[in-house]
Amino acid sequence: MTRGLLRVYLGAAPGVGKTFRMLEEAHRRRDRGTDVVVGVAETHGRPRTAGLLDGLEVLPRREVRHRGAGFTELDLDAVLARRPEVVVVDELAHTNVPGSRNAKRWQDVQELLDAGITVLTTVNIQHLESLNDVVQQITGVPQRETVPDAVVRRAGQIELVDMDPEALRRRMAHGNVYGAEQVDAALGDYFRVGNLTALRELALLWLAGKVDGQLDRHLAGPAVEATSEARERVVVALAGGPEGETVLRRAARIAARTKGADLLAVHVVRGDGLAGADPARLARQQVLTERLGGTYHQVVGTSVPTALLDFARGVDATQLVLGTSRRHRLARLLSPGVGVTTAAAAGPIDVHLVPHLVTHEGTRRGRSRPVPPLVAGGLTPRRRLAGFLLAGLGLPLLTAGLSATRGEVSLSLDILAYLLLTVAVALTGGLYPALLAAVGGFLLLNYVFTPPVHGFAVADPENLLALLGFIVVAVAVSTVVDLAARRTREATAARAEAQTMSTLAAAVLHGDRPLPALLAQVREAFALTAVTLLARSETTGWEVAAAVGDRPSTPPAVSDPPSTTPFLSDFPATAPAGDDLPATTPAGDDLPSTTPAGGEIEVPIDDDLRLVLRGRTLAAADRRLVEAFAVHAAIALRQQDLAAQAAAAETLAEVDRLRTALLAAVSHDLRTPLAAAKAAVGTLRSDDVPLSASDRAELLAAAEESLDRLNRLVENLLDMSRLQAGALGLQMRPVSVAAAVRDTAVPVHVPDDLPPVLADPALLERILDNLLSNALRYSPPSRPPTITAGTHAGRVEIRVVDHGPGIPAEDHDRVFQPFQRLGDRDNTAGVGLGLALSRGLASAMGGTLTPEPTPGGGLTMVLSFPLIST
């Protein structure tokens, strides 16, 4: 099937006339004979735009109920069933109401294109994923509805609907875009001249890049495929800081300006295994990389510039994009930085340095404000206090001890003793207590032990050099010991984080419910009482997507004993939050939160997801790890939604398969009895052929047999449809097996004392008729099938035994699939519904139908019902 063509009307801002131009194109195509329908067209109350819908076929929208409110969306199934040549679908970046088949409208459009339908659609420049951050910087308004650039770039035609900013503002002022009550606010905010000019420039530049790519492909022609030139590969370095999304989007725009360019994001993990970047931010940036059409990679290296360049050269990168902070001059003198070092050694690779701005919080994007070693040293306050006490007590005690041996030991031994004390203080309390011990030891050595004593003058230059050497060595050793202690604690913390993440991954991978398992791991790892994942709906606010806690969210009955079993809940996308909890539910820390403010800790994941924790507050290091969990929870939620959509699609595909098989099967089986009956009746009505009484009787019998066969076929089809729809009406009552089989023309062996079965009499006879017809078809004339009945293991079993060729054991389940006729090449034998329908009817009545091999050859169908309890 030929894929449909996508035509996009691109605008710089709302109100430039995209929908108007799109509907004009729809009229033009309709006038030249093209089959055009309107799936969705948002007129926003503009009379001239609404007038263009006159004369076009507008399909009814699908009504969706969500949290008690009604909404309308594109009816994708109706468009696919209608199969027009061209369909109008407005607002490509629109987010569908929860419960729709696809989360985004552009995904609906992809299905239409795959079905061979041409689509006319619209989109504004601010909705393109790669420009999302730039538009927010220009307008100050975040855009939650985005569409991947690749979707728009794959369009066969893109038309820019352009309008001068002043002209658009005049349209606004005249009320041609928004209502009068919104005009003043819009003109003073989003629709300022500067904003519109910048957005217009963005639209022109983006479209120019698209046109350049088309021109390059046109000029190269078929030779492009034959050349062996390396493709453009843009590598972007991610440090794991908040600037990563900006740098990543900049790299995506660079890649988009080159035809066929690859985007590769890479993060360098420190070779010492210590925790460096924020794992939560890295996880979010990995998701953004995939949305932008790139791939994410991690490499290990002790030198970031060297590791980056090794990776870039390994993938034959042509451009490298790095973020660089605006550092002070002194900092640049002491260390040139990763960006400058990488650019100097890049060789033929083009290096782009993207500067970071200082945020309003006073930190540079991508690099936290330096923390004093006293705070960031990794030692507890108790350890530092012990270090200060050791220095304060150790110095006078050591001085007193050495003073008692004055004259017996040399100054060098005194210096060594104070140096050992300084090292002990460094091991106990870190750098600052050790510096205190070093300075104190220097002063005491000079005052008490260096001639002339009891003064700070030094008579011998060698003693002066020894004292200076002591202070230098003491400070150096203290620094090294403190650094080693901090690195040890960091390595321990990193190992604990890695173990926690490993446990998380194992729980998620080995469970069939990854989202509840992940939240349960968070609750257990951080000793919380409740963990809730909230999702924002544009229409109803926050909703509970999943939650775990110490008890269920509904109170137990008075007679029930208290339970401490943790609960794990998967809520549907439309699960109520807040006011919809039972009024009798007691408030408590072990219940899931229904709003972001309902817990001690709120962890933002993105604009529409929040992880809310209850039970206790967390340390800063723990919060960073929780943020990583939160991002994985968002991914698990999206995977859960995708799995639900895939299951729904699989169900629809199965229905389509059955429908296709049904049409293929009945195309012959309906015509055959109809043709036979019509021929018989036509012959009877004809005056041209003389017919005897026996001939007329034979023709009437043939017509009756054909119509009976057609009636059975239609009944089977209707019953199969009712079974699949769950609408089969049952008249259940005790039925005698002997009465059900007494009219059969085969040998029957039923005990007189056989208890009745609880079944629908008519359906039970239908099952036995289908089974017997199947047995008669395959049994040899010399050995007709038989029916036996009895009780076994608390059940009544009815056996239909034939002595035909039988069925291999591996095909026993296949015979119950609709439209299966194993080994039967005669299409006049039916559509293959008999056994499938029989098993379905038996199951609906609480029974089972299973095949068994007949001793000596053949097949035995065992129809079993439970004994009626008295």
Q: Distance between CA atoms of 338 and 331, rounded to whole angstroms?
A: 12
Contact 199, 47 (CB under 8 A): no
Q: Which of 54, 98, 95, 102 is nearest to 77 (CA)?
A: 102
| Whole-number pLDDT of residue 245 | 85
| Whole-number pLDDT of residue 756 | 92
Higher pLDDT, 328 or 753: 753
Q: Distance between CA atoms of 211 and 575, rounded to whole angstroms?
A: 46
> What backbone torsions phi and psi does residue 31 show, to the nearest 5 degrees?
-65, -25
| Whole-number pLDDT of residue 496 | 66
Instruction: With cut-offs at 50, 70 and 90, classify the pLDDT of residue 585.
Output: very low
- DSSP states along 358-417: BPTTS-BTTBPPPPPHHHHSS--HHHHHHHHHHHHHHHHHHHHHHHHTBTTB-HHHHHHH
Beta pairing, strands 86-89 & 118-124: parallel
Instruction: With cut-offs at 50, 70 and 90, classify the pLDDT of residue 554.
Output: very low
497 token code pair: 């984080």
For the ranges 73-77, 665-669, 712-716, the lowest mean pLDDT is seen at 665-669
Higher pLDDT, 837 or 770: 770
**DSSP state, 783?**
S
The predicted model gives 569-590 an average pLDDT of 41
Give the dihedral of Cα atoms 312, 317, 318, 319; nearest 10 deg.
Answer: -60
Exposure string for 214-235, b = 16+ CB within 10 A, e = fewer: eeeeeeeeeeeeeeeeeebbbb
Residue 669 CB coordination number (10 Å): 20
The predicted model gives 798-805 an average pLDDT of 91
| Whole-number pLDDT of residue 650 | 75
Residue 267's SS3 state is: strand
Residue 239's SS3 state is: coil
The predicted model gives 777-801 an average pLDDT of 90
- DSSP states along 33-54: T--EEEEE---TT-HHHHHTTT
Q: Does residue 122 carry a pLDDT above 80? A: yes
Q: Distance between CA atoms of 672 and 244, rounded to whole angstroms?
A: 69
637 token code pair: 């939620």
| Whole-number pLDDT of residue 91 | 92
**pLDDT > 90: what percent of the chain?**
14
Q: Does residue 185 carry a pLDDT above 70? A: yes
For the ranges 363-372, 520-529, 677-686, the lowest mean pLDDT is seen at 363-372
For the ranges 47-56, 113-122, 613-622, the lowest mean pLDDT is seen at 613-622
The predicted model gives 58-85 an average pLDDT of 87
Burial of 94 (0-12, 13-18, 19+ CB in 10 A): buried
The predicted model gives 617-631 an average pLDDT of 74
The predicted model gives 810-817 an average pLDDT of 74
Instruction: With cut-offs at 50, 70 and 90, classify the pLDDT of residue 830.
Output: very low
Instruction: With cut-offs at 50, 70 and 90, classify the pLDDT of residue 757.
Output: very high
The predicted model gives 274-288 an average pLDDT of 72
Q: Distance between CA atoms of 516 and 637, rounded to whole angstroms?
A: 10
| Entry pTM | 0.44
Q: Distance between CA atoms of 450 and 460, rounded to whole angstroms?
A: 9
Query: Which residues are CB-contacts of 631 (< 8 A; sequence separation ≥ 6)?
Result: 279, 280, 283, 284, 287, 605
Longest dimension (CA), the chain: 153
- DSSP states along 200-228: HHHHHHHHHHHHHHHHHHHHHTTHHHH--
Q: Does residue 230 carry a pLDDT above 60? A: no
Burial of 412 (0-12, 13-18, 19+ CB in 10 A): exposed
Contact 640, 632 (CB under 8 A): no
Q: Distance between CA atoms of 657 and 663, rounded to whole angstroms?
A: 10
Burial of 620 (0-12, 13-18, 19+ CB in 10 A): exposed
For the ranges 37-51, 81-95, 129-143, the lowest mean pLDDT is seen at 129-143
Strands (E), 538-667: 541-549, 567-570, 601-606, 609-614
Q: Which of 55, 24, 61 is nearest to 39 (CA)?
A: 61
Element of type H or E holding 488: helix 461-509
Q: Does residue 359 carry a pLDDT above 50? A: no
Q: Does residue 456 carry a pLDDT above 50? A: yes
Exposure string for 333-353, b = 16+ CB within 10 A, e = fewer: eeeebbbbbbbeebeebebbb
Query: Which residues are CB-contacts of 278 (< 8 A; sequence separation ≥ 6)?
Result: 240, 241, 624, 627, 628
Instruction: With cut-offs at 50, 70 and 90, classify the pLDDT of residue 209.
Output: confident
Instruction: With cut-offs at 50, 70 and 90, classify the pLDDT of residue 828.
Output: very low
Contact 400, 392 (CB under 8 A): no
User: Per-residue pLDDT tens for 846-869?
Assistant: 899 999 999 888 999 999 999 987
The predicted model gives 200-208 an average pLDDT of 84
The predicted model gives 623-628 an average pLDDT of 75
The predicted model gives 625-648 an average pLDDT of 78
Instruction: With cut-offs at 50, 70 and 90, classify the pLDDT of residue 566.
Output: very low
- DSSP states along 572-592: -TT---GGGS-TTPPP-TTSP
Specify the residue for token string 């939620």: 637
Q: How many residues does the chain have?
A: 870
| Whole-number pLDDT of residue 132 | 80
Q: Does residue 198 carry a pLDDT above 90? A: no
Instruction: With cut-offs at 50, 70 and 90, classify the pLDDT of residue 578.
Output: very low
Q: Give the bridge partners for 848, in sequence order.
A: 864
Residue 482 CB coordination number (10 Å): 24
For the ranges 455-459, 544-548, 841-845, the lowest mean pLDDT is seen at 455-459
Burial of 810 (0-12, 13-18, 19+ CB in 10 A): exposed
| Whole-number pLDDT of residue 798 | 93
Strands (E), 288-359: 295-301, 319-325, 350-356
| Alpha-carbon separation of residue 518 from 50, 522, 612 (angstroms) | 49, 6, 14
Q: Distance between CA atoms of 20 and 51, rounded to whole angstroms?
A: 10
**DSSP state, 75?**
-
For the ranges 294-298, 412-416, 567-571, the lowest mean pLDDT is seen at 567-571
| Whole-number pLDDT of residue 372 | 37
Query: Which residues are CB-contacts of 703 (< 8 A; sequence separation ≥ 6)?
Result: 676, 677, 680, 681, 684
Beta pairing, strands 36-40 & 86-89: parallel
pLDDT, averaged across the chain:
77
| Alpha-carbon separation of residue 589 from 315, 586, 599, 633 (angstroms) | 51, 10, 8, 21
Show the DSSP H helices in 98-239 as ranges. 105-114, 132-139, 149-153, 165-173, 180-188, 193-220, 223-226
Contact 136, 279 (CB under 8 A): no
| Whole-number pLDDT of residue 117 | 93
Q: Which of 427, 355, 353, 417 is nearest to 390 (CA)?
A: 427
| Whole-number pLDDT of residue 68 | 73
| HSE-CB of 2 using CA atoms within 13 angstroms | 6
The predicted model gives 527-549 an average pLDDT of 79
For the ranges 38-47, 135-144, 322-331, 766-775, the lowest mean pLDDT is seen at 322-331
Q: Does residue 551 carry a pLDDT above 70? A: no
> What backbone torsions phi and psi does residue 122 show, to the nearest 5 degrees?
-130, 155
43 token code pair: 């007129």
Q: Does residue 668 carry a pLDDT above 80? A: no
Q: Does residue 190 carry a pLDDT above 60? A: yes
Q: Which of 786, 808, 809, 810 is nearest to 798 (CA)?
A: 786
User: Per-residue pLDDT tens for 29-46?
Assistant: 999 999 999 999 998 888
